[in-house]
């Protein structure tokens, strides 16, 4: 291309409507494929910019773009964000009354809608399909995009039965390109969604799943609430973030506890009244600096770009789920933290859930394999990001420099002897007494503690009683946790968390296999790690930081007035660019990334005023 060539229509839309200079990564290729009428399967991590991949073809091709999206809350915000840049966007879902629906339908048939978002359960209705047939035959459909396409996977963590019915629609409107998009990365999910949606002949785009701006940290669990609070106070004061817990009870108590310590923390789980849930979600999206404490039900489709941290206070059930959840941090590309605290009880509890759970043996094996992979990630002594990317089939040759093990290399020690002591205790209980016990009792025996339970069972007479007195309680728990992760020790399927020999136990007992263990970091008591994530504005000079704060205050007021999330007005990345460049004219302002034609007209003068006062 020479400099005198006019930009392609797609690039022209990117610049004029969205105010961005250039496509990111493979966006340009994907958009070209679809604009030319081809089908596409797009696997890209959260925050990579999937939305533009269907929004731009919808604007460039004639007719209305049809987007299937599973979450109603997301739909509202996406439509708000599109309208804010002057795009004619609408949605159809169960929250609308008949009049509103008729209005939208009329607009569709008149060819006055650029993009229509539809919930999958609406699309399952014959009446909706007939309506779309009429649109296809009339003003036309420009693209059929299935967002969160991994929801068709029955094995996946987000399966939605309504998604299966979408397959019928893929060939219903000849000549309309189909797209399936997801941030779920495994090859298995990719294969499954391709066959289920009949997209074998589509062009497949698999982006790198790396999220370099997210710092991954995993710390041993101690006083988890206190650890979390320290983490929030020292590294993320005033930031928006998500705290994930496994149970509703723990969500409620954690949110309450944080709130009592001055953090704006709100609970979110399926057991709450629908209105409370909607209100808490809306506050999280619209206000600055709200922390939401939630079960994993929260977050799919939350496209708030300025979530600065995702914290897990319980062990996630799979690496895939963990990666999706942590991926909700830092979608704007600015620094963010993924923080996880996990402990021995997490392992025991999850094994118990798997053993007691429903489903056939194959399902249980799969859950068990998922848990093992998660544990391996927690206990790795090498770069976490390398391990994550390798898990998703994208190995990298170098350490990342932005995870806890890279920032603070883990010291390891030879744990062979403690492992043998622990295993002998388990063996003795089993052979001599025909008994199995959980980790707590085994550790008491090793440390030679005469607790009532030890005396009651006569465990002080075992030859291994007291042979591990050289290590403290905390050290033993760390040893045990890691032995479980390495499959030296296994948890019985009796539902009581009793210990048994793992597959690697014989080799360890015979001294054929040494055991390397990581030293738990001492700082983990207070939030974990001394290497903090830098605040978003760390790279701005003092003057620019002041300007950034002024712009943020102005943005909050705007957002409140219009009842839209702050990022619909301008994202943090745009505010930063404004604070640094401090443009003094509308013309200069239009050159800032994120300032398109509609926003320039709407906010241009107001922004110049704020900048002039600063």
State in angstroms the smallest separation of the CB of 268 from ligand ADP. Answer: 20
Owner of token pair 């795009």: 87
Measuring CA to CA, how many Å separate 165 from each of 93, 95, 144, 516, 610?
Answer: 17, 21, 14, 50, 51
Find out whether 547 and 579 touch, Cβ atoms under 8 Å: yes
Question: Of all helices (H) and strands (E), which one includes residue 164?
Answer: helix 161-164
State in angstroms the smallest separation of the CB of 219 from Zn ion. Answer: 15
Q: Which range touches Zn ion (CB under 5 A), out of 68-76, 146-154, 190-198, 406-414? A: 406-414
Tell me whether residue 178 or residue 227 sits nearer to ligand ADP (CB atom): 178
Pairing of β 309-312 and β 241-244: parallel
State in angstroms the smallest separation of the CB of 208 from ligand ADP. Answer: 13
53, 145, 228, 400: which one binds Zn ion (CB under 5 A): 400
Kindly state the DSSP code that residue 8 receives in the 8-state scheme: P
Q: Which range touches Zn ion (CB under 5 A), out of 82-90, 178-186, 375-383, 549-557? A: 375-383
Coil/strand/helix, residue 347: helix
Coil/strand/helix, residue 92: strand
Task: Record the tokens describing residue 214, joined without a space.
Answer: 């997210």
Tell me whether residue 24 or residue 106 sits nearer to ligand ADP (CB atom): 24
Binding partner of residue 403 among ligand ADP, Zn ion, none, CB under 5 to 8 Å per kind? Zn ion
State in angstroms the smallest separation of the CB of 404 from ligand ADP. Answer: 25
Binding partner of residue 383 among ligand ADP, Zn ion, none, CB under 5 to 8 Å per kind? Zn ion
The full DSSP string for 258-276 is HHHTT--EEEE-TTS-HHH
Measuring CA to CA, how many Å separate 103 from each of 91, 97, 117?
Answer: 11, 10, 15
Closest C-alpha to 18, from 75, 69, 67, 87:
87
Four-residue CA torsion sign, 245, 249, 252, 256: negative
Tell me whether residue 47 or residue 415 sits nearer to ligand ADP (CB atom): 47
77 is an interface residue for ligand ADP by CB under 6 A: no
20, 216, 322, 554: which one binds ligand ADP (CB under 6 A): 20
Cβ neighbours around 110 below 10 Å, total: 11
Tell me whether residue 383 or residue 488 sits nearer to Zn ion (CB atom): 383
Binding partner of residue 52 among Zn ion, ligand ADP, none, CB under 5 to 8 Å per kind? ligand ADP
Q: Which range touches Zn ion (CB under 5 A), out of 218-226, 240-248, 382-390, 412-420? A: 382-390
Alpha helix segments (H runs only) across 4-71: 9-16, 27-35, 50-60
Residues numbered 115-144 forming contacts with ligand ADP, rule: CB under 6 A: none
Binding partner of residue 19 among Zn ion, ligand ADP, none, CB under 5 to 8 Å per kind? none
Four-residue CA torsion sign, 337, 342, 347, 349: negative
Give the rounded distance of the alpha carbon of 215 from its chain centre: 13
Tell me whether residue 147 or residue 379 sits nearer to ligand ADP (CB atom): 147
Find out whether 240 and 284 touch, Cβ atoms under 8 Å: yes
Find out whether 77 and 89 touch, Cβ atoms under 8 Å: no
Tell me whether residue 42 or residue 228 sits nearer to ligand ADP (CB atom): 42
State in angstroms the smallest separation of the CB of 216 from Zn ion. Answer: 7
Tell me whether residue 266 or residue 388 sits nearer to Zn ion (CB atom): 388
Tell me whether residue 108 or residue 403 sits nearer to Zn ion (CB atom): 403
Q: Which range touches Zn ion (CB under 5 A), out of 54-62, 400-408, 417-425, 475-483? A: 400-408
Q: Which range touches Zn ion (CB under 5 A), out of 168-176, 391-399, 420-428, 518-526? A: 391-399
- In whole angstroms, what is the distance from residue 606 CA to residue 570 CA? 13
50, 150, 304, 385: which one binds Zn ion (CB under 5 A): 385
Find out whether 577 and 592 touch, Cβ atoms under 8 Å: yes
What is the contact mask toward ligand ADP in residues 32 to 61, using x (rule: CB under 6 A)? ------------x-xxxxxxx---------
- In whole angstroms, what is the distance from residue 337 CA to residue 329 CA? 7
State in angstroms the smallest separation of the CB of 514 from ligand ADP. Answer: 44
Phi, psi of 66 (to 5 degrees): -105, 120
Find out whether 157 and 126 touch, Cβ atoms under 8 Å: no
24 is an interface residue for ligand ADP by CB under 6 A: yes
341 is an interface residue for ligand ADP by CB under 6 A: no
Four-residue CA torsion sign, 539, 544, 549, 553: negative
Binding partner of residue 63 among Zn ion, ligand ADP, none, CB under 5 to 8 Å per kind? none
Q: Which range touches ligand ADP (CB under 6 A), out of 20-28, 219-227, 272-280, 500-508? A: 20-28
State in angstroms the smallest separation of the CB of 381 from Zn ion. Answer: 11
330 is an interface residue for ligand ADP by CB under 6 A: no
Question: Of all helices (H) and strands (E), which one includes residue 229?
Answer: helix 224-235
Binding partner of residue 317 among Zn ion, ligand ADP, none, CB under 5 to 8 Å per kind? none
Instruction: Sort 578 into a burial class: Cβ within 10 Å, 0-12 / 13-18 / 19+.
Output: buried
| Contact residues: ligand ADP, CB under 6 A | 20, 23-24, 27, 44, 46-52, 303, 305, 331-332, 571, 593
| Contact residues: Zn ion, CB under 5 A | 383, 385, 399-400, 403, 406
């Amino acid at each position: 291309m020479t400099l005198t060539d006019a930009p392609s229509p797609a690039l022209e839309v990117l610049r004029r409507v969205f105010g961005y200079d250039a496509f990111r990564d493979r966006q340009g290729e994907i958009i070209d494929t679809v604009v030319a009428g081809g089908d596409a399967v797009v696997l890209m991590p959260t925050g990579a910019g999937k939305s533009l991949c269907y929004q731009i073809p919808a604007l460039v091709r004639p007719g209305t773009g049809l987007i299937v999206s599973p979450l109603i809350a997301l739909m509202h915000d996406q439509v708000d964000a599109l309208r804010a840049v002057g795009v004619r966007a609408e949605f159809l879902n169960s929250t609308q009354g008949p009049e509103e629906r008729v209005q939208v339908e009329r607009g569709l048939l008149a060819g006055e809608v650029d993009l229509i978002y539809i919930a999958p359960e609406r699309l399952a209705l014959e009446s909706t399909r007939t309506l779309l047939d009429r649109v296809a035959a009339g003003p036309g459909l420009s693209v059929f995009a299935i967002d969160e396409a991994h929801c068709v996977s029955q094995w996946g963590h987000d399966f939605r039965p309504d998604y299966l019915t979408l397959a019928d629609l893929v060939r219903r409107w000849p000549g309309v390109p189909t797209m399936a998009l997801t941030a779920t990365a495994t090859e298995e999910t990719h294969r499954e969604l391709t066959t289920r949606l009949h997209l074998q002949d589509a062009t497949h785009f698999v982006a790198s799943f790396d999220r370099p701006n997210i710092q991954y940290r995993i710390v041993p669990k101690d006083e988890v609430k206190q650890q979390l609070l320290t983490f929030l106070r020292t590294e993320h004061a005033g930031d928006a973030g998500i705290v994930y817990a496994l149970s509703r009870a723990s969500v409620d108590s954690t949110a309450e506890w944080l709130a009592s310590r001055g953090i704006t923390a709100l609970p979110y789980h399926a057991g709450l009244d629908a209105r409370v849930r909607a209100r808490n979600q809306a506050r999280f999206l619209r206000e600055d600096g709200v922390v939401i404490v939630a079960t994993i039900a929260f977050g799919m489709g939350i496209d708030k770009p300025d979530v600065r941290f995702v914290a897990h206070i319980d062990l996630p059930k799979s690496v895939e789920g963990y990666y999706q959840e942590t991926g909700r941090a830092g979608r704007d590309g600015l620094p963010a933290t993924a923080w996880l605290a996990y402990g021995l009880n997490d392992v025991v509890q999850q094994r118990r859930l798997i053993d007691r759970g429903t489903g056939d043996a194959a399902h249980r094996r799969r859950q068990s394999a998922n848990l093992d992979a998660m544990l391996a990630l927690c206990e790795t002594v090498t770069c976490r990001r390398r391990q994550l990317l390798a898990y998703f089939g994208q190995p990298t040759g170098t350490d990342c420099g932005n995870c806890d093990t890279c920032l603070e290399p883990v010291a390891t020690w030879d744990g062979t002897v403690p492992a043998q002591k622990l295993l002998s205790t388990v063996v003795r209980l089993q052979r001599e007494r025909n008994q199995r016990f959980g980790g707590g009792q085994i550790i008491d025996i090793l440390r030679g503690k005469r607790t009532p339970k030890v005396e009651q069972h006569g465990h002080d007479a075992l030859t291994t009683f007291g042979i591990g007195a050289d290590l403290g309680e905390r050290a033993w728990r760390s040893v045990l946790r890691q032995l479980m992760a390495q499959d030296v020790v296994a948890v019985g399927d009796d539902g009581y968390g009793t210990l048994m020999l793992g597959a690697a136990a014989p080799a360890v007992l015979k001294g054929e296999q040494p055991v390397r263990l990581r030293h738990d970091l001492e700082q983990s008591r207070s939030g974990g790690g001394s290497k903090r994530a830098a605040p978003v504005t760390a790279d701005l000079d003092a003057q620019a930081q002041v300007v950034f704060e002024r712009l943020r205050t102005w943005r909050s007021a705007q957002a409140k007035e219009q009842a839209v999330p702050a990022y619909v007005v301008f994202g943090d990345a745009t505010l930063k660019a404004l604070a640094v460049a401090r443009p003094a004219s509308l013309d200069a302002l239009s050159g800032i990334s994120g300032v398109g034609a509609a926003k320039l007209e709407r906010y241009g003068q107001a922004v110049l005023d704020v900048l002039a006062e600063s």
